[in-house]
Amino acid sequence: MKKSHNQSLDQYWKLDDQQLNTPDHDAMLLWILKPGNLKKLITSRSSESENWDWKNVKIHAEEYIVSNSGFRVGAPDIIFLVPHYICKTCKTTHNDTNSCPNCNSEDIAPHPDHEHHYDRYFVEIKPKIENFGTTLRQLKLFISYGYDDRAYLFTKDLRFKAEFEGQGIKVLHQSSVQSSF
Ligand SMILES: [Zn+2]
């Protein structure tokens, strides 16, 4: 049977990503799926996220990023959706549930437009960075499908932290939330 391009790209990443089957990877994925842990991890990196509507954040594990033409780009370990709010005073859209970051108005409401209910973020889990270039290429590909400034890498391997962050990928590490283990 002839393989489609979709299948082969998908298999390329999965085969390349042998860490997917390591106990470490599973442990980190299961940890992040436990209630409260994603919030601990993300707020350890960006304090403004403390005011997100965490009760209604949705976590999708192993969900595909699909292009407009239906092409399956790949599946980050976690895609999470953060509810959007709209300021009734200045109409700014934001994720802050306390007040509008633009005009400080507290007259805010969940975004009424179905298309704009959520901001999407992804977290890729790599216990160890086996190959910096390959990992960066994979994450940049995901980012190019609408995840600018919304890309996280969860790893125990901090050797390339500065390089990833310089490329717009925030590096998450469990030690930043270790006090809560
Ligand atoms: Zn406002």
**In-domain check, residue 85:** no
Residues 37-93: pLDDT tens digits? Answer: 999 999 998 888 999 999 999 999 988 998 889 889 899 999 999 999 999 999 999
Report the separation in Å between the CA atom of 21 and the middle of ligand 1, taken as the mean of its atom positions. Answer: 46
Report the separation in Å between the CA atom of 99 and the middle of ligand 1, taken as the mean of its atom positions. Answer: 8
**How is residue 82 written in tokens?**
């953060």
Residues 131-146: pLDDT tens digits? Answer: 999 999 999 999 999 9
Q: What is the largest CA-CA distance in the chain?
A: 60
Report the separation in Å between the CA atom of 147 and the middle of ligand 1, taken as the mean of its atom positions. Answer: 24
Residues present in the chain in total? 181
Given a contact cutoff of 8 angstroms between Cβ atoms, the answer to whether 61 and 33 are in contact is yes
Cα distance between residue 104 and residue 83, in whole Å: 19
Quickly list DSSP for the chain.
-PPPHHHHHHHHHHHH-GGGGSHHHHHHHHHHHSTTHHHHHHHTT-GGGGGS-GGG-EEEETPPEE-TTS-EEE--SEEEEEE-EEETTT--EES-SSS-TTT----EEE---GGGSEEEEEEEEESS-S-HHHHHHHHHHHHTTT-TT-EEEEES--TTHHHHHHTT-EEE-GGGGGGG-
The domain that holds 150 is classified in CATH as 3.40.1350
Report the separation in Å between the CA atom of 96 and the middle of ligand 1, taken as the mean of its atom positions. Answer: 11
**Residues sharing a CB contact under 8 Å with residue 162, sequence separation 6 or more, in sequence order:** none
Report the separation in Å between the CA atom of 114 and the middle of ligand 1, taken as the mean of its atom positions. Answer: 20
**In-domain check, residue 92:** no
Report the separation in Å between the CA atom of 110 and the middle of ligand 1, taken as the mean of its atom positions. Answer: 13
**In-domain check, residue 100:** no
**In-domain check, residue 97:** no
**In-domain check, residue 107:** no
Q: Which residue has the higher pLDDT, 9 or 103?
A: 103
Strand partners, 126: 155
Range of the domain at 165: 5-50+57-80+119-180
Report the separation in Å between the CA atom of 108 and the middle of ligand 1, taken as the mean of its atom positions. Answer: 8
Please state the domain count of the chain: 1
Degrees (nearest 5) of the Cα angle 68, 71, 76? 100
Say which range, 12-26, 41-55, 142-156, 165-179, has the weakest mean pLDDT: 12-26
Cα distance between residue 124 and residue 154, in whole Å: 6
**How is residue 129 written in tokens?**
């960075």
pLDDT surpasses 60 at 16: no
**In-domain check, residue 164:** yes
Report the separation in Å between the CA atom of 161 and the middle of ligand 1, taken as the mean of its atom positions. Answer: 35
Report the separation in Å between the CA atom of 44 and the middle of ligand 1, taken as the mean of its atom positions. Answer: 26
Given a contact cutoff of 8 angstroms between Cβ atoms, the answer to whether 25 and 127 are in contact is yes
Residues 19-41: pLDDT tens digits? Answer: 566 788 999 999 999 989 999 99
- Full-model pTM: 0.84
Report the separation in Å between the CA atom of 81 and the middle of ligand 1, taken as the mean of its atom positions. Answer: 22
**In-domain check, residue 37:** yes
Q: Note residues around ion ligand 1 (Cβ under 5 angstroms).
A: 87, 89-90, 92, 100, 102-103, 105
